[in-house]
């Protein structure tokens, strides 16, 4: 006879045994595997449903109650019957609740066993009639770890114990100091419900705390400008619509501050305050030529110009607008901001700017341009071999002919003819004709073109890898050093005079600076040559390469003898490979 049957026999005699036998006859038989898999399957279908295995102490209490009261509902413990709890709360508290429930049920079963044994031994010694086991109904309360939720399970009485009533429930809540967020209607209704025992009730819900939102900045101008050229269906690029300059008027709003919000404190079911964090404030990114509005919630431009984000703040750069050509009416231009030229840059004139340079016309032969950022030439660059263009970012031009271009990032154009290109990034010649004809194009990264060379087999050199701009600067430094050496020899041959002494001193100083500059460049180039990865980074991609084209990787040279289509050239294991 099992332990359950022994207790039933002691408490209720043969009637309990008959009830058990009748119950066994009426209940369908299940295999042990089905009995074990049923709770797990139910818990998987509903995450808020507690798993109650067959050996759980609550099932022993359930069986005892079933012997006394027929027609008990199926044992089902659900944390969130109404679906009002956040899923993270159920997931966090489920294991704690299962462990605590197992412990309290085990204690109640242990108390019942101890009481039975004690009465049984007393019967033999003192009283021939066994006293019945009496345990009153007990409402058990479980609090979540953050004290925001409270559940209750009522255990039925054992023997002639007192049934559950409202006073018991309120007393249990009072013992746990649960006074806030109590569902009073539910609490008053539980005692009279048919399923009042072995049912998990959410009897109280606190008020969660809500942290305030952090402050935020709403920008009206982009912090990073995308330099993307759009090619139409005819393969043409509109170089006039790059929109690289973000113009702003005086007093115009650059960005606006969204103030942080205060946190909303909560309360636990024990009526204790749950503190909340207030949002953090963020400062407006105020830079040069900007000012705050009167209420301090907006950043305004203090002058008209070009808006730029420097990584930490917005600043307004003044833009110099040239309505016509750069000619004798304007002279050479040297400007700290951006320059917008609506006409041409005529031969012999120079334009130097710390920001962007935008030329709406043509850059003519013999002119010089230096841009601290991007250079855009809408109608192309037409040089005579002496035209030098420098840009510390990118160059965009309709075409480039007989010019020297030094660009620190990328270059994009429709056509390159008899020019010398030094680019530390990528050279893209795909739109329009997409041809590289004659001259030399040297890129540290990739060169992508539709055609390289010409049918006439004119010599066209494509160099890849290394440090193109540094090599150009070294060549310029060597030329400057030769010129200064010749100037020094010429001055030393003149008659002594105060003017001669002054010129000699200045020339020797310039010569020393040029020597140090050249030495530093030689060291940089030596380090680059020592690292083979610097040479292997280059890559040529072209739709057609004509005979007469030379592909150079450092000291490796490949001369094409035949026309090659859809070719890719790169350096692999010290050799130039064509694919």
Does 180 fall in a domain?
yes
State if pTM tops 0.85.
no
- Find residue 417's DSSP bridge partners: 401, 437
Return the pLDDT at 4. Answer: 47
Return the pLDDT at 75. Answer: 80
| Sheet with 138-143, edge to edge strand ranges | 138-143, 149-155, 200-205
In angstroms, the CA 372 to CA 395 distance is 11
Return the pLDDT at 314. Answer: 95
- Find residue 368's DSSP bridge partners: 350, 388
Return the pLDDT at 34. Answer: 47
Question: How many angstroms separate the Cα of 296 from the Cα of each of 259, 286, 315, 438?
Answer: 10, 11, 17, 59
Task: Report pLDDT digits (tens) over 403-441.
Answer: 999 999 999 999 999 999 999 999 999 988 899 999 999
- Whether 229 and 412 have beta carbons less than 8 Å apart is answered as yes
Task: Report pLDDT digits (tens) over 330-379.
Answer: 888 888 788 999 999 999 899 999 889 999 999 999 899 999 999 999 99
Does 236 fall in a domain?
no
- From first to last of its 579 residues, the chain has per-residue pLDDT tens of 444 454 444 444 444 344 434 444 334 444 444 444 555 555 556 788 888 788 888 888 888 777 777 667 778 788 887 778 888 888 888 888 888 888 888 888 887 776 544 444 444 444 445 555 677 888 889 999 889 999 888 888 877 778 888 888 898 999 899 989 898 888 888 888 878 888 888 989 999 999 999 999 999 999 887 766 677 766 777 776 666 778 888 899 999 999 999 999 999 989 899 999 999 999 999 999 999 999 999 999 998 888 989 888 999 988 888 889 998 888 888 887 889 999 999 998 999 998 899 999 999 998 999 999 999 999 999 998 889 999 999 999 999 999 999 999 999 999 999 999 999 999 999 988 899 999 999 999 999 999 999 999 899 999 998 889 988 988 888 898 999 899 888 888 888 888 888 888 898 898 898 889 888 888 877 876 766 665 567 889 999 999 999 999 888 899 999 999 998 988 887 788 887
Does 579 fall in a domain?
no
**Does residue 211 sit in helix, strand or coil?**
coil
Return the pLDDT at 412. Answer: 94
Structural domain including 146 reads 3-205
List the one residue out of 505, 480, 481, 479 whose CA is nearest residue 491: 505
Q: What is the CA radius of gyration of the chain?
A: 44
In angstroms, the CA 562 to CA 547 distance is 5
Question: How many angstroms separate the Cα of 346 from the Cα of each of 19, 191, 320, 382, 404?
Answer: 113, 99, 18, 10, 17
In angstroms, the CA 439 to CA 490 distance is 35
In angstroms, the CA 56 to CA 102 distance is 7
Question: How many angstroms separate the Cα of 449 from the Cα of each of 96, 218, 434, 452, 468?
Answer: 67, 41, 6, 7, 19
The residue from 205, 229, 259 where one domain ends is: 205
Does 126 fall in a domain?
yes
Does 363 fall in a domain?
no
21: its two tokens: 């036998």
Q: What is the largest CA-CA distance in the chain?
A: 145
Does 555 fall in a domain?
no
52: its two tokens: 């109650």
What angle (nearest 5°) sits at the alpha carbon of residue 295, between those of residues 289 and 300? Answer: 20
The residue from 205, 227, 256 where one domain ends is: 205
Sign of the CA dihedral running 62, 65, 66, 70: negative
Return the pLDDT at 24. Answer: 41
Buried/exposed code over 358-388 (b: 16+ C-beta within 10 A; e: otherwise): bbbbbbbbbbbbbbbbbbbbbbbbbbeeebb
- Residues in CB range of 238: below 8 A, 6 or more apart: 230, 232
- Whether 356 and 339 have beta carbons less than 8 Å apart is answered as yes
Does 434 fall in a domain?
no
Helix axes 57-68, 3-26, angle to 10 degrees: 60
The residue from 185, 205, 225 where one domain ends is: 205
In angstroms, the CA 320 to CA 339 distance is 5
Q: How many domains does the chain have?
A: 2
Does 173 fall in a domain?
yes
């Amino acid at each position: 006879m099992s332990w359950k049957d022994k207790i039933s026999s002691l408490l209720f005699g043969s009637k309990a045994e008959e009830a058990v036998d009748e119950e066994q006859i009426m209940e369908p038989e299940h295999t042990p595997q089905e009995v074990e898999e049923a709770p797990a399957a139910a818990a998987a279908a509903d995450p808020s449903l507690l798993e109650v295995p067959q050996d759980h102490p609550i099932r022993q209490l359930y069986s005892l109650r079933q012997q006394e009261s027929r027609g008990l509902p199926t044992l089902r413990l659900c944390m969130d019957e109404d679906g009002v709890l956040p899923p993270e709360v159920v997931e966090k508290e489920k294991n704690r609740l299962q462990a605590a429930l197992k412990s309290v049920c085990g204690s109640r079963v242990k108390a019942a066993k101890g009481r039975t044994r004690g009465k049984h031994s007393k019967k033999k010694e003192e009283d021939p009639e066994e006293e019945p086991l009496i345990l009153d109904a007990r409402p058990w309360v479980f609090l979540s770890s953050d004290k925001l939720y409270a559940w209750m399970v009522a255990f039925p009485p054992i023997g002639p114990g007192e049934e559950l009533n409202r006073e018991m429930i309120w007393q249990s809540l009072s013992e746990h100091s649960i006074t806030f967020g109590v569902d009073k209607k539910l609490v008053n209704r539980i005692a009279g419900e048919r399923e009042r025992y072995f049912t998990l009730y959410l009897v109280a819900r606190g008020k969660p705390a809500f942290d305030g939102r952090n402050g935020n900045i709403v920008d009206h101008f982009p912090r990073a400008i995308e330099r993307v050229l759009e090619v139409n269906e005819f393969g043409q690029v509109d170089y006039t619509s790059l929109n690289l300059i973000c113009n702003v008027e005086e007093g115009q709003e650059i960005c606006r501050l969204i103030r942080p919000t205060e946190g909303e404190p909560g309360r636990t079911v024990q009526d204790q305050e749950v503190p909340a964090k207030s949002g953090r404030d963020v400062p407006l990114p105020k830079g040069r030529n900007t000012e705050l509005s009167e209420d301090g919630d907006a950043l305004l431009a203090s002058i008209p110009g070009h808006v730029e984000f420097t990584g930490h703040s917005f600043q307004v750069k003044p833009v110099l607008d040239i309505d016509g050509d750069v000619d004798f009416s304007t002279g050479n231009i040297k400007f700290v901001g951006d320059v917008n030229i609506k006409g041409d840059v005529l031969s012999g004139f120079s334009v130097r700017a710390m920001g962007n340079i935008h030329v709406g016309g043509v850059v003519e032969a013999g002119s010089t341009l230096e841009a601290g950022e991007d250079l855009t030439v809408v109608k192309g660059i037409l040089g005579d071999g002496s035209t030098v263009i420098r840009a510390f970012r990118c160059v965009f031009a309709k075409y480039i002919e007989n010019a020297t271009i030094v660009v620190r990032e990328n270059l994009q154009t429709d056509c390159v003819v008899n020019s010398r290109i030094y680019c530390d990034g990528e050279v893209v010649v795909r739109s329009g004709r997409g041809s590289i004809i004659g001259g030399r194009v040297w890129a540290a990264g990739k060169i992508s073109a539709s055609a390289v060379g010409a049918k006439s087999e004119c010599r066209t050199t494509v160099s890849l890898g290394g440090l193109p701009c540094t090599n150009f600067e070294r060549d310029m430094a060597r030329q400057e050093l030769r010129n200064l050496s010749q100037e020094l020899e010429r001055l030393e041959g003149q008659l002594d005079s105060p003017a001669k002494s002054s010129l000699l001193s200045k020339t020797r100083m310039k010569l020393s600076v040029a020597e140090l500059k050249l030495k530093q460049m030689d060291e940089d180039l030596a380090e680059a040559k020592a690292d083979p990865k610097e040479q292997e980074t280059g890559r040529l991609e072209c739709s057609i390469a004509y005979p007469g084209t030379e592909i150079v990787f450092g000291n490796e040279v490949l001369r094409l003898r035949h026309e090659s289509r859809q070719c890719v050239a790169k350096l692999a294991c010290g050799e130039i490979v064509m694919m």
